Amino acid sequence: MSSRELADLVRNIPDFPLPGINFKDITTLIGNGPAFQQVITLLTDRYRDRGITAVAGIESRGFIFGAPLALNLGVGLVPVRKPGKLPADTYQVEYALEYGTNKLEIHRDAFEPGAQVLVIDDLLATGGTIVAAKQLIEQAGGTVVELAFVIELTFLNGREKLAPCPIFSLIQY
Ligand code: AMP
């Protein structure tokens, strides 16, 4: 399946969850077995020999891709979650959204010393979420090797916020 065919499996939902937002719906991509498998294979091939010791997935769509990727790489999965979900001691970060603010948390003891972390989420938009997640991961002692996304909305220039951290995306719009 070409990357164009993968891109065509992502469904556009206009005006969700707010007027003016063109929501990229990945359920139509992950609902297609060969497409889901290919996404995970492409990511696994990219990260197999990169010395990754942990995958950090961003709640909740980052978990969908992070879990099979961590399994394939033979490393653990660290969840970066919305507030109040993680039961042990956490670090928390608050970040600005287009309207209002959001929070993310990570367990303080999520990583072994020297952890080399691959961070994954479904989609890079403005970059606010991933900047906050990266901050948390570093606070918990992880070194971020790369930030991976299935989809990147290039016109929002999220990449610029993240420089010089390496970024990879499979599908660009
Ligand atoms: P941002 O912090 O702006 O990079 O937004 C990234 C987060 O919001 C990701 O976790 C995405 O799942 C979600 N998101 C933002 N914009 C969209 C969109 N147009 N379609 C689907 N998800 C989006």
CA-to-CA distance for 29 and 64, rounded, in angstroms? Answer: 12
Give residue 100's pLDDT: 84
Give residue 72's pLDDT: 98
Question: Per-domain residue ranges for the chain?
Answer: 50-172
Give residue 53's pLDDT: 98
What is the distance in A from the centroid of ligand 1 to the CA of 129? Answer: 8
Give residue 154's pLDDT: 97
Please give the number of the atom of ligand 1 that sits closest to the Cα of 121: 10
Give residue 136's pLDDT: 98
- State the catalytic residues: 61, 98
Name residues of the chain where pLDDT drops below 70: none
Give residue 97's pLDDT: 83
Pocket around ligand 1 at a 6 A CB cut-off: 21-24, 58, 61, 121-129, 158
CA-to-CA distance for 66 and 56, rounded, in angstroms? Answer: 7
Token couple for 68: 């099979």
- Per-residue model confidence as pLDDT tens digits over 92-132: 999 988 778 999 999 999 999 999 999 999 999 999 999 99
| DSSP state letters, 47-114 | HTTTT--EEEEETTHHHHHHHHHHHHHT-EEEEEB-TT---S-EEEEEEE-SSSEEEEEEETT-S-TT
Is 123 within 8 Å of 61 (Cβ atoms)? yes
Is 107 within 8 Å of 85 (Cβ atoms)? no
What is the distance in A from the centroid of ligand 1 to the CA of 113? Answer: 31
Residue count (the chain): 173
CA-to-CA distance for 52 and 21, rounded, in angstroms? Answer: 34
Backbone angles phi, psi at 152, to 5 degrees: -125, 125
Please give the number of the atom of ligand 1 that sits closest to the Cα of 61: 12
What is the distance in A from the centroid of ligand 1 to the CA of 144? Answer: 20
Q: Which residues of 78-88 are buried (b: 16+ CB within 10 A; e: fewer)?
A: bbbbeeeebee
CATH code assigned to 50-172: 3.40.50.2020
Using most ligand atoms within 8 A of CB, pick from 120, 123, 165 the residue to mutate for ligand 1: 123
